[in-house]
Amino acid sequence: MSIQTGKLPVMSLRYALLGLLHDCPATGYDLTQRFTQGMGRIAWNAKHSQIYPELHKLTEEGLIEVVAEGARGKRVYGPTEAGGAALREWLLREPEDGTVRNPLLLRVFMVGGLEPDDATQALERIQRYANEMVEELTETHARVTAETAEPPASAYAAMYGIYSYRAMQEWAKWAIEEQRKRVD
């Protein structure tokens, strides 16, 4: 039993990869796609240039392994026993809340820097954006749940997105109302 002295490194990317591979074995290319289409929009993103080296490290450490090979140097990875254990251990750990980052929100919280009319327009744009995202994610969720029986990370992510963009709509409505009050 070891005593925790310093902080654990975050390294969420490796757990993101372990989690995605747990849902379904995949190539680095597949994982890149899944990031940009699914979870990348909601919780975490990574580019192939970061994914490939991380897959190598995880393989060296025995947390994942090549489960199939194919044309064009294709390598399908899956988690090992140790990898599954590492994932579970991370999931059950008390979640220290790491850094949150959302450039879109940063932008809208700054509307105080605009003239009231411009601010209202910016907020209305947010409403429209939230509408679009709810629609898009509703489709995504339907597609993802149709494909697989169990709800994997992407289904959870899509549904979370639906709830949270609805919240964004409500917030924008509230904020527009606030703006209206300020003008009067």
Torsion of CA 121, 122, 124, 125, to 10 degrees: 120
> Can residue 67 be called a binding residue for DNA (CB under 7 A)?
no
Cβ at position 87, least distance to a second copy in Å: 5
Least distance in Å: CB of 41 to DNA?
12
**Of DNA, a second copy, none, which one does residue 74 interact with (CB within 5 to 8 Å by kind)?**
DNA
Using CB under 7 A as the binding criterion, the count of chain residues that bind DNA stands at 31
Tokens representing 150 are 């169990």
47 is a contact residue toward DNA (CB under 7 A): yes
Task: Say whether residue 49 binds DNA (CB under 7 A).
Answer: yes
Footprint of DNA on this chain (CB under 7 A)?
A: 6-7, 9-13, 27-30, 32-33, 45-50, 52-53, 55-56, 70-75, 99, 101
